Amino acid sequence: MARRLSIPGLVNLLEVSDAREIRRLDAEPHLDRHLAPAGGLVNRLRLARLRQAFVFDGEPLPALLAREAEGRASRHAELGRRLEERTEASSWRQDPAFKTLVEAVAGQAEAEALGPAAQGLLGRLFRDDYRADEASYAAARLLDAYPRGNVLRALGQRLTGRLRRARRLLAERARGEPLALHATGIAVHNLVASLTAMRELAATPQAHGLSLAAVLGRTLAAPETLLRRVQAPLSTPCAPRRLEPGDLVVLRLAQAARGSGDRELAFMGQSWARCPAQGFILALLAAVWEQAMAVRQGGRGA
């Protein structure tokens, strides 16, 4: 159900968590991703936090770029093609981190191993020598949580330099490449959440009887929220009153996708902003699950 929060000069926000409303709003040309200051005080603070975390060298990270941002569509299409090749070659099998992911999902390695292993595997899609460890994964967690944390904690992270250090470490490891930074700083958390859910499912008695589709339906983790900003006045059946420029629209994607088994929605597969990693991630998760089940049954495994 849509929820409107409107106090003039302070906050103007529409939140939706219904799959149909999310798709309808996402298709509106008057809604876009823009981080420049606009709207009431709370809207501005929210946008400021996103800029502080996710703008590097003056540019928002890839999944925060506006629809018409120069090169966005072609760069992401190119990434999609590259990841498709990797998927066809099952290239993750050569990465030592793949074995760690399998062992952790099978319950033979600690759950804590998932984060650095997933980050390393994603980083090496972009740089053969990408190195992930506890510090780089902790930095990614800080970056991801920063825009959502409470005001005092966020202020503390800025004043003590923790945010700056986390950003610097991630940028160094990714050698400043925006797509690598996105994958290892932000997207990694959806992969880790999916693998963590798989680990829990794998430990249950019914795990072996489940089809792959059922496993992915239960475990695939979508981003918690996607943010859009209103660019021009917009009347929509999803909002009781007209939306005005500067209003924020929060698409509560995880809630909409949770348990629905709708994989297209989890990756916004029908959107102008669709995730170029959808095929790769689904194939990787499938491979990890199959190998982990084999390990648990005492088979050959990874």
Chain residues binding ligand HEM by CB under 6 A are 33, 62-63, 72, 76, 122, 125, 179, 182-183, 187, 190-191, 194, 222-223, 226, 253, 266-268, 271, 273, 275-277, 281
The answer to whether 38 and 246 are in contact (CB under 8 A) is yes
Q: How far is the CB of 297 from ligand HEM (least distance, A)?
A: 26
Q: How far is the CB of 113 from ligand HEM (least distance, A)?
A: 18
Q: For ligand HEM, which is the closer residue by CB, 53 or 179?
A: 179
Q: For ligand HEM, which is the closer residue by CB, 105 or 277?
A: 277
Q: For ligand HEM, which is the closer residue by CB, 51 or 72?
A: 72
Residue of minimal Cβ distance to ligand HEM: 275
End-to-end CA distance of the chain: 44
Q: For ligand HEM, which is the closer residue by CB, 186 or 243?
A: 186
Q: Which amino acid is at 242?
A: R
Q: For ligand HEM, which is the closer residue by CB, 27 or 41?
A: 27
96-105 and 114-123 helices cross at what angle (nearest 10)?
150
Q: How far is the CB of 205 from ligand HEM (least distance, A)?
A: 26
Could you give the CA distance from residue 219 to residue 201 in angstroms, rounded to a whole number? 8
**Cα 299 to Cα 22, 195, 202, 253, 294, distances in angstroms:** 43, 20, 15, 37, 5
Q: How far is the CB of 277 from ligand HEM (least distance, A)?
A: 3
Question: What is residue 134's three-state secondary structure?
Answer: helix
Neighbours of 297 (CB within 10 A): 11
Could you give the CA distance from residue 115 to residue 188 in angstroms, rounded to a whole number? 8
Q: For ligand HEM, which is the closer residue by CB, 11 or 220?
A: 220
Q: How far is the CB of 184 from ligand HEM (least distance, A)?
A: 9
In sequence order, the 6+-apart residues with CB closer than 8 A to the CB of 45 are: 151
Opening angle at CA 229, ends 228 and 234, nearest 5: 110
Q: How far is the CB of 203 from ligand HEM (least distance, A)?
A: 21
Q: How far is the CB of 133 from ligand HEM (least distance, A)?
A: 19
Q: For ligand HEM, which is the closer residue by CB, 157 or 275?
A: 275
Could you give the CA distance from residue 302 to residue 295 in angstroms, rounded to a whole number? 8
